[in-house]
Amino acid sequence: MQTSVITDIGEYEENILAGMTARQLILSAVGIILTAAAYFWAARLFSIQEASYLAIGCGLPCFLFAFAKPHKMSLERFLAIWLESELLSHRKRWYIAENTLYEAIAEKEYSTKRKKEE
């Protein structure tokens, strides 16, 4: 018999049903209900294939928010951090040194050196 021991108490999540946490169970149920509702609504208006694509598109965010764990974080926490770093924080500033006097001298020396070689 093998017993697993959690080394980090912060990673512990209590399983409610079928190995899923309460968050995963609730979001999965919402995703299934949303997918079924979108399919039956769209099946009256579109073809079966188009209705199934629409239903999958409607239910997919619920399943992503339930099961996706990028960098061991919940998806909404990861997206909040990512949006803050990409949109709200300062960008790297790239400074370009412009030294026209040096460029003029370097160009003059390069042209005289080229003339001597010819």
**pLDDT of 47:** 92
**Among 1-5, 49-53, 81-85, 106-110, which range has the highest average pLDDT?**
49-53
Q: Are 82 and 59 in contact (CB under 8 A)?
A: no
**pLDDT of 52:** 93
Task: Specify which residues 17 forms β-bridges with.
Answer: 20
**pLDDT of 9:** 65
To the nearest whole number, what is the mean pLDDT of the chain?
A: 84
Per-residue tokens: 102: 């040096």
**Among 51-60, 70-79, 84-93, which range has the highest average pLDDT?**
51-60
Question: How far apart, in Å, are the Cα atoms of 4 and each of 9, 11, 12, 19, 24?
Answer: 13, 13, 12, 14, 22
From the number of C-beta atoms within 10 Å of its C-beta (0-12, 13-18, 19+), residue 59 rates as buried
Where does the pLDDT of residue 11 fall: very low under 50, low under 70, confident under 90, or very high at 90 and above? low
